[in-house]
Amino acid sequence: MEDSEQCLSVRRVEDLRRQLSRQDRRLITVYLQEGGNYSAVARRLGRDSGGIRDRYQRLFRRIAATI
């Protein structure tokens, strides 16, 4: 039972990821690589940390709305 639930969760995440634009998928990847640190993401992308934080908040709200 646990394996089937895990498989379902993985499929849901994959489906959600496919719905995102290429740019949003890249932002999620960088966010995870930087351990969820907005400042590190901003430095890596050469952008303002406040703007990056706002961008992620909008992205996460859109994701939450689809769940």
In the chain, where are the structural domains located? Answer: 2-66
Give this prediction's pTM. 0.74
In the three-class reduction of DSSP (H, G, I as helix; E, B as strand; rest coil), residue 36 is classed as coil
Please report which confidence band the pLDDT of residue 2 belongs to, taking 50, 70 and 90 as the band edges. low
DSSP, collapsed to helix, strand or coil, labels residue 56 as: helix
- 15 vs 3, higher pLDDT: 15
The model's pLDDT over 9-64, given as tens digits with 9 standing for 90+, comes to: 888 888 888 999 999 999 999 999 999 999 999 999 999 999 999 999 999 998 88
CA–CA dist 45, 58 (Å, integer): 18
| pLDDT tier for residue 3 given thresholds of 50, 70 and 90 | confident
| Architecture (CATH level 2) of domain 2-66 | Orthogonal Bundle (1.10)
Distance CA 51, CA 38 (A): 9
Per-residue confidence (pLDDT) for residue 7, from 0 to 100: 81
